[in-house]
Structure 1
Amino acid sequence: MTSLSPVEKSDRIISLDVMRGFSLLGIFIINMISFHSPFLYADAYTWWQHPDDKMFYPWIDVFVQASFYPLFAMMFGYGLAIQQRRSSLKGTSFYPMAVRRLLGLLVIGCIHAFVIWSGDILINYALFGLLLLLFMKLSGKVLLWIGGLAFILPQLFFSILLFLVSLVDETGVTHFTDIQALQSSVQAYGSGSIQDIFIQRWKDWYNVNGPANIFFLMLSILPMLLIGAGAGKLQLLEKVKNHRLGWSITLIVAVILGISIKSLPILVEPNLAYSYIQDFLGGPFLSVSYAAIFALLLINKKITKWFRPLAAAGRMSLTNYLLQSVIGTLIFYSYGLGLYGQVTLITGTLLAIGIFAMQVILSEMWLAKFKQGPVEKAWRMFTYGRKCPVKERDM
């Protein structure tokens, strides 16, 4: 029986890697805010005092916030479907490999969340990815339907419910700043000891991922994994040329819905109800529009060449994602430069873009000599249970 092995460069789908790279940039821009400021506990609509930051934040809120982790989740599901297809073609068992792969990601996520930065997303991808395996025997169309319904029905229900609450009791959905938690965060990350930072990191992680939120996290991530897996089974990215009209219609609809819904806090009222609707309902629509834009653009081979550096960053997405957290915390936490709470939103965003540009260059340089990133290599060894040389010039 032929053994299952990782995807070779000749088998890769460049649009998938480009979307991963683009997702990394968007995720970094949002994560950078939490690296340098107590974003988790502050009302973002009143926190920024500098006039330029006040004008800039709505753009991030509409076009970046909650619009990239769904895209990355869809690409994660798509990649898992590719692994399943390759497993079937080679006559190997997919599920043991997939379980090892997701457990390996869970370990990496735990190290990231509790040793480096609390805003980890890998734990959720790993846990909900294990749930995704329960559906992977279904057809691509069925997965798309289940994922679509699992997204739209609960989010519509909670969106309507919160909208009605906002009409009855405006104070119940008012944004607020948790002063005590905010001060604790600034003290721990800005000037605290390693122990202080560890305790604060745990509190931050639990506030986001604890029992009170895990259900909503599942509703926001698992449907995207299902949609991505369904698209992967149907090989939608590989068949864009044959379905340009469908992709174009999807783009138009997703852009209109995404931007309209995500603009609600700015156009109507920046309260908790509209923020929920903005992120959990509008975010995924905008994610789909980003995917459609790149899928259509990359039909053109000349344009594809321009995006190859971004694809290189996407091929090393796990390494780059973790490196972003290491760099961000070293710049702002007390054990590094200690600049926590001392930079503006625009400065932080420019810093994120600059660091990401360096990551793109370094990813190209690394992949010119090696087959994959260093963390991907470790994950590969855990998944496939054997050592493989990383270095590969003929790729």
Structure 2
Amino acid sequence: MADSDVVISPVNGKADRKAFVDLPWTIYANDPAWVPPLKSEVYGLITPGKNPWFEHGEAQYFLARRGGKVVGRISAHIDHLALKLPPEQGMGPGTGNFGLFEATDAATAHALIATAEDWLRAKGMTRVLGPISLSIWEEPGLLVHGHDHPPTVMMGHNSPAYQAWIENAGFTPAKLLHCYEINIEKGFSPLIQRIVESGEKNPRIVIRKVSKKHFDRDAAIILHILNDAWGKNWGFVPITDSEVAFTGKKLKPIVYEDLIRIAEVDGEPVAFMMTLPDLNEALKPLNGSLLPFGWAKLLLWLRKPKVRTMRVPLMGVVQKLQSSRMASQLAFMMIEFIRRDSVKHYGATRGEMGWILEDNQGMVAITKAIDAFTNKSYQIYEKGL
């Protein structure tokens, strides 16, 4: 389709895929906050057979050109697991997605979005939720607050212009996701310290580090807790075993035993907290490639990372304990133990927790109790088709 001399075509063949992956380097050439992803990771994300999301999802990618020059890209995709979920949880029957969205101007943006909508409509979808790239577990939402500083590992960054372009295409806010920043150099309030100390004295509670030696076992425990803890959350789509194996393999180089904790009560694993050193601090200078010497620099960094920021991408307590005093006690204990080690062993000064749903009262209350503040917000939009 064409709009204001914009020509949209499906991604077809090697050259188109390269153009699709390379476009952000043009869009963000002058944006100091953008962190170039590793191109090999982006190819892995969008390729069936490499990304296990495609075992339950399908996607079509589109490029926008003006005068032969690539000026935008978008994905239209459907997660068949998401279609089976109850609509009140955000996904549900008839809900498709768009994502991996980049554009140089409003006309291009609108032509791309309309093309993605047409593709979803032809597949029988009645509603679109986005941007989500490609899964809710990867990069959900459009950055609408916090464009002035770089994203942490596995979080998205986009031009501030996109918000108006998406809203002008008829999309309305569905859910806001927040990231919270914490000064981790100073300890928490005396009240939190007392809660932690009381937990340390409780023989029923054990907070243990994960074991790299038994990585598969601990990954399976974390998956079990995660699928239970998040099962009723808005936007939740179950993570499959093959996605856990894939993500585990990808994250293993930045898994450090003292940064991921599992909480056990009476010997039963009931909560976990995953923390990652901000790999983006090491990736930024590499400009998307491990060649010629990037791989050596990255390996050196991975051996003993010294970082400013630690990110907590995932945390969960099993549903039967949620809303209990024990749940917050376990959360504060894991946060405090990881905080101490982050400062002592990695030189970190700040933490980032997120994303957290705007109406997740339990987690929002925990962030307030540890004096965290919102530093980035990501908006997920919806529109009827």
Q: Per the shorter chain, which TM-score range?
A: under 0.3
TM-score w.r.t. length of structure 2 = 0.26
Q: Which has the larger share of strand? A: 2
The structure where helix makes up a greater share of residues is 1
Higher RCO structure (Cα 8 Å, ≥6 apart): 1
